[in-house]
Amino acid sequence: MNSQRTEPTDRVGFIGLGNMGAPMATKLASWSGGLTVCDARADVALPYLEQGADFAPTGAAVAERTTVISIAVVNDAQVRDVVTGQDGVLSTAKPGTVVAVHSTISDRTAEELATECASRDVEFVDAPITGGAGGAEHGRLAVMVGGSDIAYERVRAPFGCFADLIVHAGGVGAGTAMKLARNLLHFVAFTAATEAQRLAESAGLDITELGKVVRHSDAVTGGAGAIMLRENTSPIAEGDFWLPILSHVRDLGEKDLSLALDLGARLDVDLPLAELALARLGPGLGVGVSNVPESA
């Protein structure tokens, strides 16, 4: 492709000034090459204009003025329209332009759009983000980039305005796959939190106070991410550094899950995720189930 490494003098475009896009674009307002913003609501662009950015009414108009374009809209359909629609980015994008989609879309959509972009000598990256609006406001987002090495190198500098962790996950679609894996953990954990609340409530506890304890301890321990340090998920062999560490995690988890299930049974509270966790924790950690008898 005819791509070139991004220099600070290149102009960046940002399409979609919603809850996440707005603070991200605000961080890009300091980009030395300049910023062009675009949103269906022209009035939301006013704060960026006051900071020196300019406004473009369509994706096509953005692409006429910029060579790196970030897109943060709602879903696959909107992304497709912004990229390939009648007034979309590809209708005017110059060869060597990099189109980066921050929305969480299907990996198949990412691959299809990459093919269409390549036919115009345009680079495509799926670059979903995590960290929430607060992370965006403080420049603390994590970005998972799927795309070529060339495209990754080109987006690193502008992405650094709103993110303090930029990971090259692999080729197109890999960024999305990583985001989906991350969000699987996120929302399964949310569901587990509701189960924990039901148990605590049935035990007569203040679930607001429980929430305080959870947030406090997760901030100290790192939560579930604290165990995500291995290079693969294969069973752990004897003599491996991780075997005693994750066996200890399993033993503690099986003990505490068993105690929680016992409490739930006495309170007549169904805890299906806890039951699954008890059965799958050890195998998932790669250390198998505990050999300790249930009565121990």
- d(C-alpha 139, C-alpha 131), whole Å: 9
Residue 23 near residue 162 (C-beta atoms within 8 A): yes
- d(C-alpha 215, C-alpha 75), whole Å: 30
- d(C-alpha 108, C-alpha 212), whole Å: 40
The SS3 call for residue 65 is helix
CA dist 228 to 12, 132, 135, 182, 186, Å?
Answer: 34, 21, 21, 11, 14
Residue 122 near residue 99 (C-beta atoms within 8 A): yes
User: 168: which strand partners?
Assistant: 145
**Active-site residue 94, yes or no?**
no
Choosing from 27, 94, 179, 255, which is the catalytic residue?
179
Structural element, H or E, at residue 266 = helix 242-267
- d(C-alpha 175, C-alpha 179), whole Å: 6
- Work out the angle at residue 36's Cα, subtended by the Cα atoms of residues 33 and 147, and round it to the nearest 5 degrees: 75
Residue 271 near residue 260 (C-beta atoms within 8 A): yes
Residue among 105, 122, 102 nearest 114 (CA): 122
Per-residue DSSP letter, 240: -
Residue among 76, 142, 144 nearest 110 (CA): 76
Residue among 148, 108, 126 nearest 2 (CA): 148
Positions marked catalytic: 179
